[in-house]
Every structure is written in structure tokens, then in C-alpha cells.
Amino acid sequence: MSWTQLLFSFEGRIGRAPYWYFVLAMCVLFGVAFVALGAALFGAASLDTQAPPAGVGMATGLLPLLSLLLLWPSLAICAKRWHDVDKSAWWILIALVPVVGGLVALVFNGFVAGTAGANRYGNPPA
């Protein structure tokens, strides 16, 4: 499976390992973004001037932009993971249920093995 198909297509199945690699990459990206934002805001707060430095505006816009850029690939990865356990991609919406929804999504996407053999979403991931 190519990177473009992995990140942008909602068809097919993926195993738990690619899912966890993607989650790890997201954590690293957002961690770096939060550090950059914290450094910009802390640096601005430590200055005695009235106007914040120009970098603060860019740093505060980084997180929403990063979130929007990674929304589609995140949904595509989760859809394929739900397909691997023979469930519709509409199960992504379970994460919107307070408290238990996120836990259900984490258990199914991160820990439940996919169906053995082919299912209605295709052959098992290689």
C-alpha cells in the first residue's frame, strides 16, 4: 500500500502496527508544535514590551493549521482500522460519545486483532 493510499483513501484495511505508528507520529508532531507554541508564548511573556513579538501569532496559528492538515489522514487511518475489525467506518463517530466513546475506539483500533482472512472490506493487510 502506497503512502498516498494509506493516508488519503478510506478503502481497504490496515493492521494495528501502522495505526500505532501513525498515532506515534501524530504525538511527536503535536508535541513539537506545543513546545514551539510554549516557547513563543513564554518568550513573549518574559519580555517587558506591550506588543508581543511577531512569532507569537505564527505559533498560535500552528496548532489549528496542523489539526486541519492532519484531519483527513487521521480519519482515513481510523476508517481502515475499523474495516480491519469488520466494522463500518461510521464507527469513527463513537469517539464523540463522552468518556466511553474514546475508550471503545482506542480498544478496537489499538488492541483488537483484525478479522482473519478476507472480510467485506477486502483481504487482510500484508
Average pLDDT over residues 15-34: 94
Q: What is the mean pLDDT of the chain?
A: 88
Calculate mean pLDDT across residues 100-111: 96
Euclidean distance between CA atoms 87 and 105, whole angstroms: 12
CA 24-25-29 angle, to 5 degrees, is 120
pLDDT for residue 63: 81
Predicted local confidence at residue 15, as pLDDT: 95
Predicted confidence at residue 44, as pLDDT, reads 56
What mean pLDDT comes out for the span 35-61?
65
At 37 the pLDDT is 80
| pLDDT tens for each residue of 60-93 | 777 888 899 999 999 999 999 999 999 999 999 9
Q: Which long-range contacts (CB under 8 A, 24 or more apart) does 86-89 make?
A: 86/114, 86/115, 86/119, 86/120, 86/121, 89/10
pLDDT digits (tens, 9 = 90+) for 90-105: 999 999 999 899 999 9
Mean pLDDT, range 32-42, rounded to an integer: 79
